[in-house]
């Protein structure tokens, strides 16, 4: 069975641009969460979606948005990129949207903002 | 901000030795989990311990939880070179909307 997949694997953008990151959950999983991991730090929660509805949002500005599609895949969008948005963006899927569910992480998308 | 703080930040040991790392957190939690991350890639879930549990084992892993001290420890016994990774604790707490909050991690290097 395929695990969580994310695309692209690497991305270079310049300040002010927009970026879209994509995630496909494990088959049968209905919840997708997004995390930002700055180099040398732990992941920080950005969003969680379950059954196409937002179930939680972390402390991130409105430049960050996300959505989940009927096939449970998800997109994370970041507008007006800043240098500080450079990070590894991780997607995780689980069957339910509860914290006790094991979350399965994808390999991440490494974003560099110049 | 991050709920959990791991200690030490980095650890270097020889193959076969035990590795111990600690996690402290600030608010009351429902559960605490430990994850491993190899080379800045995706995280792998290791173990979950509930707030009413004190100790849990999984293979060479032993996790303890002391809710009175708001701390947890992860012990890896008989370490192997393949255990080289960063280890993160993650808590879920009602104060955080029951979402996972990760600590800063402990980088473990196991030398052959």
**What is the pLDDT of chain B when averaged over all its residues?**
91
Q: Which two tokens stand for residue A26?
A: 């494990």
pLDDT at B47 over 90: yes
pLDDT: which is higher, B2 or B41: B41
Hey, CA dihedral for B44, B46, B50, B51, is it positive or negative?
negative
pLDDT band at B42 (very low <50, low <70, confident <90, very high): confident
Q: How many CB pairs under 8 A join A and B?
A: 64
Across residues B79-97, what is the average pLDDT?
89
Query: Can you list the residues of chain A whose pLDDT is less than 50?
Result: none
* Number of residues written out for chain A: 114
- The three-point CA angle A44-A46-A50 to 5° equals 125
- A34-43 pLDDT, tens per residue? 999 999 899 9
Whether residue A37 is preceded by a cis peptide bond, meaning omega within 30 degrees of 0, is no
pLDDT value at residue B9 = 93
Longest dimension (CA), chain B: 43
In this complex, do A92 and B43 lie within 8 Å of one another by their Cβ atoms? Answer: yes
Q: Does A45 touch chain B (CB under 8 A)?
A: yes
In this complex, do B45 and A100 lie within 8 Å of one another by their Cβ atoms? Answer: no
pLDDT at B1 over 60: no
């Amino acid at each position: 069975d395929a695990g969580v997949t994310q695309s692209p694997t690497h991305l270079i953008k310049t300040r002010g641009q927009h970026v879209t990151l994509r995630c496909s959950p494990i088959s049968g999983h209905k919840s997708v969460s997004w995390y930002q991991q700055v180099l040398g730090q732990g992941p920080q929660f950005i969003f969680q979606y379950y059954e196409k509805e937002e179930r939680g949002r972390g402390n991130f500005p409105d430049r960050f948005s996300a959505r989940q599609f009927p096939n449970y895949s998800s997109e994370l969008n970041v507008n007006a990129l800043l240098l500080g948005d450079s990070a590894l963006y991780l997607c995780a899927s689980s069957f339910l949207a509860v914290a006790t569910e094991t979350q399965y992480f994808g390999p991440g998308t490494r974003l560099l903002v110049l | 901000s991050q709920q959990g703080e791991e200690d030490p930040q980095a650890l270097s040991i020889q193959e076969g030795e035990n590795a111990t790392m600690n996690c402290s957190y600030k608010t009351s939690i429902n559960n605490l989990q430990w994850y491993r991350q190899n080379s800045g890639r995706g995280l792998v879930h290791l173990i979950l311990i509930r707030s009413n549990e004190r100790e849990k084992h999984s293979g060479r892993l032993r996790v303890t939880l002391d809710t009175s001290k708001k701390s947890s420890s992860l012990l890896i016994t008989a370490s192997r070179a393949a255990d080289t990774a960063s280890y993160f604790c993650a808590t879920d707490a009602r104060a955080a909307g029951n979402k996972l909050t990760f600590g800063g991690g402990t980088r473990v290097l196991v030398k052959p």
